[in-house]
Amino acid sequence: MTSTPMSNIPEILARLRRSVAEGRARPIEWRRRQLDGLEALLVEHQDDFARALAEDLGKSPAESWLTEIGFLLTEIRYVRKRLARWLTPERVRTPLATLPGRSWVQREPLGLVLILGAWNYPVQLTLGPLVAAVAAGNCAVLKPSELAPASAAEMAQRVGEYLDRDGVALIEGGVDRATELLAEPFDAIFYTGGTAVGRIVMQAAARHLTPVTLELGGKCPCLVDRNVNLPVAARRIVWGKFLNAGQTCVAPDYVLVDRRRHDELLAAMVDAVGRFYGREPRASADFGRIVNRRHFQRLERLLEHDGSPTGRVILGGDRDADSRYFPPTILADVSPDAPVMQEEVFGPILPVLAVEDMDEAIRFVNSRPKPLALYLFSNDARLRDRVLGETSSGGVGINDVAMHTTVPGLPFGGVGPSGMGAYHGRHGFETFSHRKAILQRGTRGDFNLRYPPYTPAKMRWLRRLLGRA
């Protein structure tokens, strides 16, 4: 892997800060040019990106398109089409006490922002925030994850070719580069990754009072009620779980199913895996690989609990550490205390737990940290309202998994330990913008009322004007 020489970083940052000072990224034409550049970069090099993603994660070309390249193109086009409208100053009512006058909110760029990407969707999670950052008129430094080196190298090469070098820079490297960058003052930091590093990022940001967006993870529960179309539920759950070999922040982490449908759901899920990946998923072009040996070993450890197998293996099979092939694995009869139910799985292991009813499922979810996503499969509108009203999570999918992240109008982000702040579509534009409050008044007339000395008569009028008479 190439790595940006350390000495270059101060130089790069000085160049970008100069651009911020000159207002280089403010004009809408600059923003549109960067969005066009990003689009061209992705369209013209989609095969190169697909190759890099296959190298890093064994992603199939179809998956690379659906979850990275195509996803980003949709986002770019959505944002570009609406950008002028989002930039239009937003009029707000001016109260009596400040009349005559006009008030409005105007979005302005924050300045220079740092984007730290994660490895599981290395292109989407690095360039996606960039779409929002440049749309909002910021200069940006990207630091993709070192754990997806081929994708990082591809982005490093293309960003320099297609985007304004005085406005956007990509710095390759690992923890040392991230640490070096975090010591610098930025106007915003956007981080995607695990909770532990999220804390480090927030601490570093606090030194400069830099606002942060943290896109973190956690265990996303999937509740399956008794009254559902089980084959459809099973297909959707299995698809969302085994996509990218389970290395998806919004993948269903575990299933809580009504005891009465437990066995049927297991059978339907095994059937769905067979249909998607065949009897030998290792041979399927559509099933990915674990990112590295460390994560492979971490997943192996999750299959054990106190020296015994974790639960009953409903589906699984041979693994291959050399090629980092970890098969789709479904576990039943899992103890809530098992490690696989304590930490985020982030791999192709799906524990399924039976519950008496959905009340128990809701209590279970509420006894644990707030997740990034929560899924409910049910046709019962009352239960749906209860789950929405009684639980908290970054997002919710009802009768589907992961797909809510593809709706551009919906904010994507966590709550509590699953993160803070959000992006996608307008929400990303807002995240990277400052909402400047403006009141403009004329100078022809000037009521004396607000100026001292405050006589009783003036106070009476003021109280009346301010609505507290």
Using the rule CB under 6 A, give the single segment among 1-9, 30-38, 110-118, 159-167 that binds ligand NAD. Answer: 110-118
- 90: which strand partners? 105
Binding window for ligand NAD (CB under 6 A); candidates: 23-31, 59-67, 186-194, 306-314: 186-194
| Binding characters for ligand NAD, 10-49, by CB under 6 A (x = yes) | ----------------------------------------
Q: How many residues does the chain have?
A: 469
Contact letters for ligand NAD, residues 111-150 (x by CB under 6 A):
-----xxxxx----x-----------------x-xxx---
Binding of residue 288 to ligand NAD (CB under 6 A): no
**Other residues' Cβ atoms within 10 Å of the Cβ of residue 383:** 19
Residue 398's SS3 state is strand
Closest contact distance (angstroms) between CB of 415 and ligand NAD is 11
CA–CA separation, 398 and 339 (whole Å)? 27
Size of the site for ligand NAD (CB under 6 A): 29
Instruction: Give me the least distance between CB of 67 and ligand NAD, in Å please.
Output: 11
Q: Are strands 221-224 and 254-258 parallel, antiparallel or unpaired?
A: parallel
The CA distance from 201 to 210, in Å, is: 10
Contact flag: residue 217 with ligand NAD (CB under 6 A): yes
Candidates 9, 178, 353, 387: give the one binding ligand NAD (CB under 6 A).
Answer: 178
In angstroms, rounded to a whole number, what is the distance separating the alpha carbons of residues 131 and 83?
11
Q: Which residues contact 33 (CB under 8 A, 6 or more apart)?
A: 164
Q: Which residues are CB-neighbours of 153 under 8 A, at least 6 positions away?
A: 1, 2, 52, 172
Region for residue 296 given its phi and psi (left: phi exceeds 0; alpha: psi -120 to 50; beta: otherwise): alpha
Instruction: Report in angstroms how near the CB of residue 194 gets to ligand NAD at its nearest.
Output: 3
Nearest residue (CB) to ligand NAD, 146 versus 187: 146
Active site residue 63: no
What is the per-residue binding string for ligand NAD in 316-335, x denoting contact by CB under 6 A? --------------------
Query: Would you list the DSSP string of 238-260?
Result: HHHHHGGGG--TTS--EEEEEGG
Q: What is d(CA 434, CA 430) in angstroms, rounded to the nearest whole number?
A: 7
With CA atoms as reference, report the closest residue to 149 among 170, 179, 112, 174: 174
Under rule CB under 6 A, residue 393 binds ligand NAD: no
Examine residue 344 and tell whether it contacts ligand NAD (CB under 6 A): yes
The reply to whether 194 sits near ligand NAD by the rule CB under 6 A is yes
Catalytic one of 63, 172, 215, 344: 215
Site string for ligand NAD, 356-385 (x = CB under 6 A): ----------------x-------------
Pairing of strands 349-355, 373-377: unpaired
Pick 119 or 277: Cβ nearer ligand NAD: 119
Which residue in 109, 135, 113 sits closest to 210, CA to CA? 113
Residue number, 117 or 137, with CB nearest to ligand NAD: 117
Please confirm, yes or no, whether 215 is among the known catalytic residues: yes
Q: Catalytic amino acids?
A: 215, 249
Binding site residues, ligand NAD, CB under 6 A: 116-120, 125, 143, 145-147, 174-175, 178-179, 182, 192-194, 197, 200, 215-217, 249, 344, 346, 372, 414, 419
